[in-house]
Structure 1
Amino acid sequence: MTVLAIVVFAVAYLLIATDRVPKAAAALGGAGIVLAAGVVGSDEAFYSHDTGIDWDVVFLLLGMMIIVGILRRTGVFEFTAIWAAKRAKGSPLRVMVLLVLLTATASAFLDNVTTVLLIAPVTLLVCDRLGISPVPFLIAEVFASNIGGTATLIGDPPNIIIGSRAGLTFNDFLVHLTPIVVVEVAVFALVLRRLFRGAFDADPRIAEVMTLDEREAIRDKRLLVKCGVVLALVFAGFIGHSVFHLDPSVVALLGAGVLVLVSGTRPRDYLAAVEWETLLFFAGLFIMIGALVHTGVISHLARLAADATGGNALLAAMLILVVSAVLSGFIDNIPYVATMSPLVVGLVADLPDPGEAQALWWALALGADFGGNLTAIGASANVVMLGVAARAGTPISFWEFTRKGAVVTLMTIALAAPYLWLRYFVLA
């Protein structure tokens, strides 16, 4: 059974990494095989906290997808992007900086895939009016999305998995990751001119941009107010997790339910915003990972990792940071984190200092989230952005993305390493 669990997972992982088949199909196919073969049973797959589907992750994503789907109908994202372009006076560099800052901020409170889907069409519109290529802007935005999404529990799907596995709250992510993310975003904004040399040389059609009226982008003001109130309550629930004793998944579902009721949105409209393929992908992936845990594969790997680091928490944190950045660049960071989380659980259990032990989780989050920028397939947001660019007739090649992504990943990891060292091992 152990060999079968490993082979099934390896084949599914390969299919996921190479995009030979849809990710959900690969994950569900692998899950079906381990269930049919009896590697795990229904109790382990659907009800066990250690080996089953992590329903907190699934329902948190479901709730936020519904909320964002309804919010999208208001036009507030288009309003924000047009407003930013006008405030930049049509300067390509200033437009890029503002869009990058907006994308990074939005990605901290929405998942980065959703942010990319919302900001990309507006970027195409603004670049068309300016008469400049949108490719550098789209690439910069997806980098910013992956960096900004690192700041919170809900900003990047790997964080949701880490939060659930480690018992970390929304506030934990705010306190521990937001400071370094703010620094990373600021540094990234400063290097944009050098990173995208030649992208700002065109003579933009500033007059056309200034004729855009951002107020016309708002399609439903009453719905926007309702969404704003519900979102404020949802984020208050996230932040007040320890006071209200409600898990983020419950808060997200309650917020989605309330917004559906007060908005009067029809089921076919808000259900159309749910990325069912993503949710099924998570379900299948969790079952395959559970099979590895159930057969003892994960615990064996954890023991090997512990032996390799000799119980040195700093060495373990740095190893996790660097390895996560590299592997997440070539393999989607969602399945990577789902695989690594049980390993980190084993490593943390052997460390006596709680602060140093928690640093391993932050190393995993920073490495996986920032490493997602390394290549075009490193994060789901990258794949989505490339698809948007291709449909718009401005395709972005794998190597064009990766050349820039390698620089950004190296920069962000180089800043993250001393942050981990100073905060958890020197100043703790």
Structure 2
Amino acid sequence: MSWLIAVVFIGVYIGMALGRWPGLAINRTGIAVIGAVILLLSRAITGDGALAAIDFATLAVLLTLMVLSSQYAASGFFDWIGHRITHLGGGPRGLLAGVIAVCGVLSAVMTNDVVVWAVTPILISGVLARGLDPKPFVIAAACAANAGSAATLIGNPQNLMIAEFGHLDFGAFLLACGVPAVMGLVVVYGVILRSPMMRAGAGAEAGTEAGTRTGRQDAAGAVSPLDKTILTKAVIATFAVIGIFIFVEERALWSLLVVAVLLFSRRLPTDQVLGRVDWHLLALFVGLFIVTGAMSQDDAIARLFHDVLISLQINQPAVLAAVSLLGSNTIGNVPLVMMLLSLGPDWSETMLYGLAVFSTMSGNFLIVGSVANIIAVEQAKKAGTVISFTDYARIGIPITLISLALSLGWMTLISWGVS
């Protein structure tokens, strides 16, 4: 069955790279599910093997973070924070700094995808009200969300997988990856501030001051007040999740307890809370877990991939950074990390830190490098702002290359562990 596993694996990961199979209206989630079903029906992987391949701990924590973000959305927090960002003083520079700081910090505790999805529409309306071009600010939100999410174990899906795989400590991870994350946010600000797209609209706000005042007043009146009760519950739950990651070994089970507590409500219906959960992303994870699990459980294929990665010297930081850059912008950073963890060499703790930082920073290179980028661009399009592949690449490529160089220097500085 090795040949069938290899064919399915290649077909699925080509689909991850292209976003769909040519001629068919099947997205990445559908491709992963179909691949898993083929392997199960053909007995290329057994039911027990499939269950063993699925990382339920990662899925449980990811579900918890989605439900937590749903709680924040229900409280009106995202509307409120988006309104506050767009009303910052200091002109376009102050607005840019605010977008980057807020999206970066929020992504470290709420996952980058959710933050971008919630903030982008409000950000666009507020920026337009100030007479500015929304494009650099939307790109800033996406890039900052990616960079900020690198700081913590719960910042993005790939970090969750890496954390569960290596049983990493929350504090140690923050110390190792927080510095590259902060440097990444600074790079995002510096590159976008000097970009032609940003400079072209730098004087627009001053030239449309009257319209800006009117826009701000209109936006202020349109924002609903915060539901402090729901928000308080969300904040307490956030600290609980962080506490679980710091002090508890059974993270998945205790995280699900947080979900149960959030569902236990007199005001928020279960349908509303669970309706914001990205079930498609969870299904994508399940499908990919089974496909990569079939590969890792086949001795011949697993040995081949292991030998190839060893020959590439992937335990060297520069090589891992290059692989992360290439893989994240072809098959995507989540499928890449899943594949490397399943089929790669023995991973030292510092190598796992490097994989987390490099795969996350690489997501800023192109629109397709990160789900957060795709969400930001799609949300912008719905709001009438079209960000082309070239628009994004002109900013994303220098941000990524500079961020990776700085991250590579940092990872080398903290004594890279070679397995």
TM-score computed with the length of structure 1 as normaliser = 0.89
Instruction: Give the superposition deviation at 1:216.
Output: 4.7
1:17-55 residue CA offsets vs partner (Å, 9 max, x unmatched): 212221111000000111111111011101x2xxx1111
Instruction: Give the superposition deviation at 1:81.
Output: 2.6
C-alpha separation between the residues in 2 aligned to 1:136 and 1:149? Answer: 20
**One of 250, 254, 258 as aligned partner of 1:251:** 254
C-alpha separation between the residues in 1 aligned to 2:17 and 2:312? Answer: 27
Whether the aligned pair in 1 keeps the contact of 2:127 and 2:134 (CA below 8 Å) is yes
C-alpha separation between the residues in 1 aligned to 2:225 and 2:329? Answer: 37
Worse-superposed segment, 188-197 or 175-184: 188-197
3-state SS of 1:424 partner: coil
Aligned residues: CA RMSD: 2.0
3-state SS of 1:87 partner: coil
Q: Structure 1: 5+ residue runs without aligned partners? A: 349-356
C-alpha separation between the residues in 2 aligned to 1:359 and 1:99? Answer: 31
C-alpha separation between the residues in 2 aligned to 1:214 and 1:161? Answer: 42
3-state SS of 1:116 partner: helix
C-alpha separation between the residues in 1 aligned to 2:320 and 2:266? Answer: 44
1:60-105 residue CA offsets vs partner (Å, 9 max, x unmatched): 111111121122011112222322333325x122111101110000
3-state SS of 2:367 partner: coil
Whether the aligned pair in 2 keeps the contact of 1:82 and 1:214 (CA below 8 Å) is no
The residue type paired with residue 422 of structure 1 is: L
| Matching residue of 1:82 | 83
| Matching residue of 2:23 | none
Instruction: Give the superposition deviation at 1:394.
Output: 1.1
- Asked if 1:18 is matched to 2:18, the reply is yes
| Matching residue of 1:118 | 118
**One of 366, 377, 388 as aligned partner of 1:386:** 377
Instruction: Give the superposition deviation at 1:308.
Output: 4.0
Equivalent residue runs for 1:22-421 within 5 Å? 22-46=27-51, 48=52, 52-89=53-90, 91-195=91-195, 196-202=198-204, 203-205=207-209, 206-208=212-214, 210-211=216-217, 212-213=219-220, 216-241=223-248, 245-247=249-251, 249-262=252-265, 264-296=267-299, 297-309=301-313, 313=315, 316-344=316-344, 346-348=345-347, 357-421=348-412
Whether the aligned pair in 2 keeps the contact of 1:63 and 1:252 (CA below 8 Å) is yes
1:170-227 residue CA offsets vs partner (Å, 9 max, x unmatched): 3332121112212221233233311333232313434235535489533422212222
The residue type paired with residue 133 of structure 1 is: D
C-alpha separation between the residues in 2 aligned to 1:388 and 1:153? Answer: 26
Identity of aligned residues (%): 26
C-alpha separation between the residues in 2 aligned to 1:421 and 1:128? Answer: 43
Whether the aligned pair in 1 keeps the contact of 2:366 and 2:389 (CA below 8 Å) is yes
How many positions carry a matched residue from both structures?
404
Whether the aligned pair in 1 keeps the contact of 2:83 and 2:223 (CA below 8 Å) is no
User: CA 1:421–1:391 in structure 2 vs 1: closer, same or farther (change >3 Å)?
Assistant: same
User: CA 1:253–1:218 in structure 2 vs 1: closer, same or farther (change >3 Å)?
Assistant: farther
Whether the aligned pair in 2 keeps the contact of 1:325 and 1:368 (CA below 8 Å) is yes
Worse-superposed segment, 182-191 or 328-337: 182-191
User: CA 1:145–1:194 in structure 2 vs 1: closer, same or farther (change >3 Å)?
Assistant: same
Whether the aligned pair in 2 keeps the contact of 1:146 and 1:370 (CA below 8 Å) is yes
3-state SS of 1:165 partner: helix
Q: Structure 2: 5+ residue runs without aligned partners? A: 21-25
Whether the aligned pair in 1 keeps the contact of 2:79 and 2:223 (CA below 8 Å) is no
User: CA 1:398–1:375 in structure 2 vs 1: closer, same or farther (change >3 Å)?
Assistant: same
| Matching residue of 2:4 | 4
TM-score computed with the length of structure 2 as normaliser = 0.91
1:93-140 residue CA offsets vs partner (Å, 9 max, x unmatched): 211110111000000001111000111011012112112221111011
| Matching residue of 1:351 | none
Whether the aligned pair in 2 keeps the contact of 1:317 and 1:359 (CA below 8 Å) is no
